[in-house]
Chains A and B, each alone.
Chain A
Amino acid sequence: MQNQYVEQKKHFKKKNSFLRKCLKQRYLILMVLPGFLVLLIFKYFPMYGITIAFKSYDASLGFLRSPWLGFDHFKAFFDSPMSWRITKNSLLLAFYSLLFGFPAPVIFALLLNELRHKMFKRTVQTITYFPHFLSAVIVVGFIHEFTSVEGIINKILSWFGSEPRTLLYVSGAFRPLYVGSSIWQELGYGAIIYLAALTGVDPAQHEAAVIDGANRWQRLRYVTWPAIIPATSVMLILKLGSVLSTDFQKVLLMYNPKIYETADVIETYVYRVGVQGGQFEYGAAVGLMLSIISFFLILFANYFSKKVSENSLW
Chain B
Amino acid sequence: MKVYNEGLGSKAFDIFNYMIMILLCMIMLYPLLNTFAVSISDPTLVGQGKITWFPQGFDFHSYQYIFQDKNILNAYKNTIVFLVIGTSLQLLLTSLFAYPLSVSDFVFRKPLAVYVIITMVFSGGLIPQFLLIRDLQLFNSIWAVVLPVAMSAFNIIIFRTFFQEIPKELRESAYLDGANDFGILFRIYVPLSKPLLATFALFGAVMFWNMWFEPMIYLNKESSHPIQLLLRRMTIELKDYTDVGGLQRFIDTYNLNPKNIRMASIIVTILPILFIYPLLQKHFVSGMMIGSVKG
Instruction: Enumerate chain A interface residues (CB-CB to B < 8 A).
Output: 18, 21-22, 25, 27-29, 31-32, 34-36, 38-39, 41-50, 52, 62-63, 108, 111-112, 114-116, 120, 123-124, 126-131, 133-138, 140-142, 144-146, 150, 152, 184, 187-188, 192-193, 196, 203, 206-207, 210, 215-217, 249, 252-253, 267, 270-271, 274-275, 280, 283-284, 287-288, 290-291
Contact = CB atoms under 8 A, between A and B. Distances in A.
Contacts of B93: 34-35, 38
Interface stretch (B56-64, B104-112, B245-253): B104-112
B147 to A, nearest CB: 6
A142 B25 contact: no
Give 9 nearest A-B pairs by CB, closest first: A46-B124, A49-B128, A35-B97, A135-B210, A141-B235, A46-B128, A27-B181, A287-B125, A28-B100
B17 A28 contact: no
Interface residues of B, number: 92
Contacts of A249: 212-213
B88 interface: no
B124 A50 contact: yes
Interface in B86-144: 93-94, 96-97, 99-101, 103, 106-108, 112, 115-116, 119, 122-132, 135-136
B228 A137 contact: yes
Contact of B27 (A18, A115, A184, A287): A184
A207 B35 CA distance: 47
A145 B291 CA distance: 37
Nearest to A24: B107
Main secondary structure of the interface of A (DSSP, over half): helix
B35 to A, nearest CB: 7
A120 B21 contact: yes
B13 A38 contact: no
A141 B292 contact: no
Contact of A216 (B9, B25, B115): B9
A188 B280 CA distance: 14
Given A39-B151, A130-B277, A28 B103 contact: yes
Contact of B236 (A41, A46, A141): A141
A140 B25 contact: no
B289 interface: yes
B26 to A, nearest CB: 9
Given A43-B151, A141-B235, A207-B2, 17 more contacts: A18-B107, A22-B107, A25-B181, A31-B181, A32-B101, A41-B147, A45-B128, A49-B124, A49-B131, A116-B14, A124-B21, A137-B228, A184-B31, A187-B24, A215-B7, A270-B126, A280-B131
